């Protein structure tokens, strides 16, 4: 391919609406252009890199026993009604109506479609297990699309769904996908690692997310340097707060004392009250699936909403409004407590940290007053004790006992053991060997293909631009001719190299533009081709061309050795990326 005949609109300046480096480089390197918020056109270089990632995914999915299919993006809304997600996923569903006013859904994911297929087609244990996958555009009505391809309204996803006859079988399918994902990301040159993940409203019992460490990620990952534990913060647990909870009772009954104007933990911790945060009980009021509930945490802890939803089995949870709180408890936020004036119908969820807490201070449910000498278990009617707190840096790892760390990361993949939720609702059953009819046991496995592309850029960039891993580069080699006169030695040599390298299976882009060398060098580094070959008169008088790896030093090789050297370089880097995949 020739640069002049492709379309690679590079930008010298950073577009003002791109905040993070990978988004800026997507635009500057001419990989994509924005149509509208969260909607992007892929230009040739972006599309080629995307296709490379797709190809790696297909190879590894096929190798792991995946069966490629292609499902409709436009789906009848009634299967969404059947699964129950017409309501629970309503926020992200794009809905459209046809001429007869019938409603359709633009698929944000395909559990409903594939399970409908399985219900019709998989009827015997002899047909199981099966693992169907596709690479397809998904649509999600994101509240806030951002960071280019990272969170878009329309994006490319590889989704796979396994159907097994037993739980053990499902576990084996899950394991195969887990291993395949490890290989896929390694082959893409990405440093991705699996972490335990929250299972959300699907419930289920086993889930890992594949995370790429990046400051610009939208997830917090709790991990132990021993390598024995890593989890999304929504799911993470520890051996508890590093600060002990008071556990000695004063023996006295709760006592009300005036605290005019005190509405925060910090204010009560300050003079003249001097009640340390860990001696306080924080009372939060939430509306969980339309029911008002109280949530109790130690004063210095933060609620983990994902845990709240997981432990209560809730579909929706939100903080109550001030009006709802006053109507039920008679006091305003800042003076709330669960000791008295809590209607019997209101559930009280307390963090386990408080189970043995004694001598605590909490709100009196009366503006301007708090209670002291509160022994949580003695004085509060707790409906359910649960782990509801968010893990903090430095708490001890449940596995190794070492201090935990937290870092930001980008989620590029998710493997999920679904169980029988969808198979039961959508009727995917089979006849077992003993003649009984049973629901298939499912798993689902997603990779954000477009997000993976951007994650590679987020991880592989420097001040000059992108440096693609050889496996996902739009072209493996940029052949930079420094003088494009058609009859001149540089162009003649370059044409010959282009033909021979292409014949040898190397992906070459010949930069035949009528531009000064500096422009071509800068552009090739910005777009990020892993190897540049400079062909100029200066080298040719010595019978040489220059090999300049994007992240290495320049090397001079004889023209007659160039093809062999270039092939060896490209294949060497590919082999190194593929070697990592063995795990």
Residue (358 or 414) nearer to RNA, CB: 414
Given the rule CB under 7 A, which of 65-73, 195-203, 424-432, 564-572 is the region that contacts RNA? 195-203
In angstroms, give the least distance from the CB of 126 to RNA: 30
Residue 161: both structure tokens together: 């769904």
Number of residues counted as binding RNA (CB under 7 A): 61
Number of Cβ within 10 Å of residue 541's Cβ equals: 9
Does residue 439 belong to the site contacting RNA (CB under 7 A)? no
Residue with tokens 């951007």: 454
Question: Collapsing DSSP states into helix, strand and coil, what is residue 74?
Answer: strand
Residue (162 or 259) nearer to RNA, CB: 162
Question: Collapsing DSSP states into helix, strand and coil, what is residue 67?
Answer: strand
Which residues, 6 or more positions from 278, have their beta carbon under 8 angstroms from its beta carbon? 241, 243, 244, 245, 246, 298, 299, 300
In angstroms, give the least distance from the CB of 225 to RNA: 25
Does residue 305 belong to the site contacting RNA (CB under 7 A)? yes
Chain positions 257 to 296 lying near RNA, rule: CB under 7 A, are: none
Does residue 37 belong to the site contacting RNA (CB under 7 A)? yes
CB-based contact 563:570 (threshold 8 Å): no
Does residue 6 belong to the site contacting RNA (CB under 7 A)? no
Q: Which of 130, 298, 414, 569 touches RNA (CB under 7 A)?
A: 414
Chain positions 503 to 562 lying near RNA, rule: CB under 7 A, are: 516-519, 521-523, 525-526, 534, 536-539, 546, 548, 554
CA-CA distances (angstroms) from residue 36 to 17, 47, 108, 240, 426? Answer: 12, 18, 19, 46, 36
In angstroms, give the least distance from the CB of 220 to RNA: 9
Q: Which of 22, 109, 283, 471 touches RNA (CB under 7 A)?
A: 109
Number of Cβ within 10 Å of residue 260's Cβ equals: 7
Residue 568: both structure tokens together: 């060896």
Cis peptide before 129 (omega within 30 of 0): yes
Does residue 467 belong to the site contacting RNA (CB under 7 A)? no
DSSP letters spanning 516-552: -HHHHHHHHHHHT-SEEEEE-HHHHTTTEEEEEETTS
Residue (548 or 581) nearer to RNA, CB: 548
Given the rule CB under 7 A, which of 199-207, 271-279, 379-387, 397-405 is the region that contacts RNA? 199-207
Does residue 425 belong to the site contacting RNA (CB under 7 A)? no
In angstroms, give the least distance from the CB of 318 to RNA: 6
Q: Which of 31, 89, 118, 292 touches RNA (CB under 7 A)?
A: 89
Number of Cβ within 10 Å of residue 35's Cβ equals: 10
What mask of x and - would describe binding to RNA in positions 202 to 221, judged by CB under 7 A? x---------------x---
CA-CA distances (angstroms) from residue 511 to 356, 477, 496, 499, 533? Answer: 72, 10, 14, 14, 10
In angstroms, give the least distance from the CB of 221 to RNA: 13
Q: Which of 360, 369, 374, 363 is nearest to 253 (CA)?
A: 374
Given the rule CB under 7 A, which of 86-94, 170-178, 386-394, 467-475 is the region that contacts RNA? 86-94
Does residue 318 belong to the site contacting RNA (CB under 7 A)? yes
Does residue 307 belong to the site contacting RNA (CB under 7 A)? no
Does residue 15 belong to the site contacting RNA (CB under 7 A)? yes
Number of Cβ within 10 Å of residue 366's Cβ equals: 19
CA distance 324 to 373: 28
Does residue 108 belong to the site contacting RNA (CB under 7 A)? yes
Residue (24 or 365) nearer to RNA, CB: 24
Which residues, 6 or more positions from 2, have their beta carbon under 8 angstroms from its beta carbon? 509, 510, 512
Given the rule CB under 7 A, which of 31-39, 65-73, 250-258, 429-437 is the region that contacts RNA? 31-39
**HSE (CB half, 13 Å, CA atoms) of 447?**
30
Q: Which of 7, 143, 251, 433 touches RNA (CB under 7 A)?
A: 143
In angstroms, give the least distance from the CB of 117 to RNA: 18
Does residue 201 belong to the site contacting RNA (CB under 7 A)? yes
Residue 306: both structure tokens together: 């994902």
Instruction: For 269, list phi and psi in degrees, rounded to 5.
Output: -80, -20
DSSP letters spanning 161-195: EEEESSHHHHHHHHHHHHHHHHHHHHHTT---EEE
Given the rule CB under 7 A, which of 17-25, 176-184, 289-297, 367-375 is the region that contacts RNA? 17-25
Q: Which of 36, 100, 345, 583 touches RNA (CB under 7 A)?
A: 36
In angstroms, give the least distance from the CB of 368 to RNA: 26
Q: Which of 132, 147, 193, 529 touches RNA (CB under 7 A)?
A: 147
Calculate helix-pair angle for 449-459, 44-63, nearest 10 degrees: 110
Give me the residues that bind RNA (CB under 7 A), please. Answer: 10-17, 19-20, 34, 36-38, 85, 88-89, 91-92, 108-109, 138, 140, 142-147, 151, 157, 200-202, 218, 305, 317-318, 414, 444, 446, 464, 482-483, 516-519, 521-523, 525-526, 534, 536-539, 546, 548, 554
């Amino acid at each position: 391919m020739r640069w002049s005949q492709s379309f690679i609109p590079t930008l010298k300046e950073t577009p003002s609406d791109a905040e993070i480096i990978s988004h800026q480089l997507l635009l500057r390197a001419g990989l994509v252009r924005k149509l509208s918020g969260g909607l992007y056109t892929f230009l040739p270089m972006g599309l080629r890199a995307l296709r490379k990632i797709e190809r790696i995914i297909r190879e590894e999915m096929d190798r792991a026993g995946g069966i490629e299919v292609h499902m409709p993006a436009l789906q009848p809304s009634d299967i969404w009604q059947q699964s129950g997600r017409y309501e629970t996923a309503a926020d992200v569903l794009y809905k459209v109506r046809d001429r007869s006013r019938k409603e359709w859904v633009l698929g944000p994911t395909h559990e409903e479609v594939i399970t409908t297929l399985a219900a019709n087609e998989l009827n015997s244990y002899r047909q199981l297990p099966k693992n169907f996958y596709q690479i397809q555009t998904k649509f999600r009505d994101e509240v806030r699309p951002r960071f280019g391809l990272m969170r878009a309204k329309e994006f490319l996803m590889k989704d796979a769904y396994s159907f097994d006859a037993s739980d053990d079988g499902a576990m084996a399918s899950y394991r195969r996908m887990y291993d395949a994902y490890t290989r896929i990301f390694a082959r893409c040159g990405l440093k991705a690692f699996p972490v335990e993940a929250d299972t959300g409203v699907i419930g289920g019992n086993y889930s890992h997310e594949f995370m790429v460490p990046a400051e610009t990620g939208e997830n917090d990952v709790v991990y132990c340097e021993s390598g024995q534990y890593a989890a999304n913060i929504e799911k993470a647990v520890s051996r508890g707060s590093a600060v002990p909870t008071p556990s000695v009772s004063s023996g006295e009954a709760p006592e009300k004392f005036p605290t005019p104007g005190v509405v925060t933990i910090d204010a009560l911790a300050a003079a003249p009250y001097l009640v340390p945060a860990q001696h306080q009980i924080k009372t939060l009021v939430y509306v969980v699936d339309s029911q008002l509930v109280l949530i109790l945490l130690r004063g210095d802890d933060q609620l983990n909403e994902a845990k709240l939803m997981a432990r209560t089995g809730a579909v929706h949870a939100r903080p109550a409004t001030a009006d709802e709180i006053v109507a039920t408890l008679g006091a305003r936020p800042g003076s709330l407590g669960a000791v008295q004036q809590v209607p019997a119908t209101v559930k009280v969820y307390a963090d386990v940290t408080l189970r043995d807490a004694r001598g605590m201070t909490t709100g009196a449910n009366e503006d301007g007053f708090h209670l002291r000498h509160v022994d949580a278990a003695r004085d509060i009617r707790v409906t359910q004790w649960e782990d509801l707190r968010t893990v903090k840096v430095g708490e001890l790892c449940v596995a190794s006992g070492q201090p935990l760390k937290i870092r930001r990361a980008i989620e590029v993949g998710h493997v999920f053991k679904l169980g029988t939720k969808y198979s039961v609702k959508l009727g995917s059953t089979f006849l077992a060997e003993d003649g009984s009819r049973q629901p298939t046991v499912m798993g689902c496995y997603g990779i954000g293909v477009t997000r993976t592309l951007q994650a590679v850029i987020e991880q592989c960039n420097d001040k000059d631009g992108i440096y693609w891993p050889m496996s996902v580069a739009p072209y493996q080699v940029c052949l930079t001719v420094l003088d494009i006169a058609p009859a001149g030695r540089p162009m003649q040599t370059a044409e010959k190299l282009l033909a021979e390298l292409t014949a040898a299976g190397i992906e070459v882009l010949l930069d035949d533009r009528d531009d000064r060398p500096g422009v071509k060098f800068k552009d090739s580094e910005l777009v990020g081709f892993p190897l540049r070959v400079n062909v100029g008169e200066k080298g040719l008088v010595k019978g040489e061309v220059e090999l300049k790896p994007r992240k290495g030093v320049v090397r001079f090789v004889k023209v007659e050795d160039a093809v062999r050297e270039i092939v060896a370089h490209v294949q060497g880097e590919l082999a190194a990326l593929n070697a990592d995949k063995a795990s």
